[in-house]
Structure 1
Amino acid sequence: MCTERGGESFCPDRTFCVDNGTMIAELGRKMVESGTVTSLMDSSVNPGLRTDHTIVTWY
C-alpha cells in the first residue's frame, strides 16, 4: 500500500504502543498549536472514520 501511494510505514517498538490516550493528547496538542480548535458543541465521534479520508490541516 505504501509503495502504491508513495508513502512510508513505521512500526514503533511495542513498549510505545500501550496508551491511545497519549496519541490522542499529542494530536490535540498539534491541533491547538496550529490554531485548529473545535468547540464541544461542534465535536462528534465517528468510530468508522477512516484516517485516509481525513483532511489534515494541523500538520
Structure 2
Amino acid sequence: MGDLLSIDEVAELLRVPKGTLYQWRHRRKGPPARRVGRHLRYDEAAVQAWLRDDKAA
C-alpha cells in the first residue's frame, strides 16, 4: 500500500469539495476509501488509478 491521503488532501488534489467525496463514497462512485479508526483514508496510488480510469471513460 502506498501513501495514505486524508479526505482534505484528496479534495484538494481533485479540486472538489469534501462533501462531494462523501457523496461519491455513499454512491460507490469515487475513488476507493477505507476507514482507519474514525477517519477516511485514500491510497494515493488508487486515487491516481481512479483518476486515470475516470478520464479515459
Same fold (TM over 0.5): no
Higher strand fraction: Structure 1 or Structure 2? 2
Higher helix fraction: Structure 1 or Structure 2? 2
**TM-score scaled to structure 1, two decimals?**
0.31
**TM-score scaled to structure 2, two decimals?**
0.32
Name which one, 1 or 2, has greater alpha-carbon Rg: 1
